[in-house]
Amino acid sequence: ELLKIKNGPGAVAQACNPSTLGGQDGRITRNILKTIALGQMLSLCICGTAITSQYLAERYKVNTPMLQSFINYCLLFLIYTVMLAFRSGSDNLLVILKRKWWKYILLGLADVEANYMIVRAYQYTTLTSVQLLDCFGIPVLMALSWFILYARYRVIHFVAVAVCLLGVGTMVGADILAGREDNSGSDVLMGDILVLLGASLYAISNVCEEYIVKKLSRQEFLGMVGLFGTIISGIQLGLLKYQELLPILLKHVCCLGFLISMW
């Protein structure tokens, strides 16, 4: 999940960027081999997350998309945000917050909701549909990179995007037709829409990530996403699951009060 938050599904589109395909002489460099290896590790981690999320949703009826994200952001907060807090100069946490707090709030919101929508979609649609429709983030990311990062692509890349969009449309249509047979067409369509929205938000997050990592630092991106991701996902978790969390909190508060009184 750390790799997923750090790279996202848009990492595939970044790998397609002509500026990252090789050295100046056109040969495959060590950095490219390292990128390919990390990309395979990323795909393996995302596959594991997808399978476990689908398994929990179907077998045990456990649908906790916000809780899953909240744990991830807490881990990022404990490591990278704390790291920024102990830095000095312009890389200090307070300095960054004074200058760019509202930008990171928007980035954190996009990243949190992307994770929430993707995991939530497993409740409505199939694992195959989620994984295939998740590729919709690639053309969205390429479009954003074209206008924001001034990336330029070749004709083959646009042909690949057209095929990707055609596959997305075909997959949505197939899900709707298959859902009508078992009277779950509206639920399947809802799952597909959640995946498409989540993939689009992932694309926004990935473009911001590439800019921050290249212009600023990787630690700043992960630290600020960890900070605002924890806050936003914590608030959303409390609002959506307050009925389930309230008895647990009351139980712990009562136990704490009892221990204090005994002490």
* Percentage of residues of the chain with pLDDT beyond 90: 10
Helix (H, G, I), strand (E, B) or coil at 242: helix
Q: How far is CA 167 from CA 135, 162, 192, 203, 238, in A?
A: 9, 9, 13, 18, 37
- The b/e string for 99-135 (b: 16+ C-beta within 10 A; e otherwise) is eeeeebeebbbbbbbbbbbbbbbbbbbbbebbbbbbb
If you ran DSSP here, which 8-state letter would residue 62 be given? -
Query: Higher model confidence: residue 84 or residue 2?
Result: 84
CA 39 to chain centre: 15
pTM of the model: 0.70
Is 72 within 8 Å of 33 (Cβ atoms)?
Answer: no
The pLDDT of residue 230 is 92
* Percentage of residues of the chain with pLDDT beyond 70: 71
Q: How confident is the model at residue 244 (pLDDT cuts 50, 70, 90)?
A: low
DSSP string of 175-234, one letter each residue? HHHHHHHTT-HHHHHHHHHHHHHHHHHHHHHHHHHHHHHHHS-HHHHHHHHHHHHHHHHH
On the question of pLDDT at 184 being above 60, the answer is no
The pLDDT of residue 225 is 92
φ and ψ at 37, to 5 degrees? -65, -45
DSSP H or E run through 21: none
Give residue-wise pLDDT tens across range 123-168.
Answer: 787 767 777 777 778 888 888 888 888 888 888 888 888 887 787 7
Q: Which of 13-27, 72-86, 218-232 comes out lowest in average pLDDT?
A: 13-27
On the question of pLDDT at 231 being above 90, the answer is yes
Long-range contacts of 52-57 (CB under 8 A, 24+ apart): 53/119, 53/122, 54/122, 54/126, 54/127, 54/130, 57/122, 57/123
The pLDDT of residue 150 is 82
On the question of pLDDT at 105 being above 60, the answer is yes
**Nearest-angstrom CA–CA distance, 42 and 36:** 10
Query: Higher model confidence: residue 77 or residue 56?
Result: 77
Helix (H, G, I), strand (E, B) or coil at 256: helix
Query: Higher model confidence: residue 174 or residue 90?
Result: 90
Please, is 37 exposed, middle or buried when counting C-beta atoms within 10 Å of its C-beta (0-12, 13-18, 19+)?
exposed
**Nearest-angstrom CA–CA distance, 91 and 217:** 9
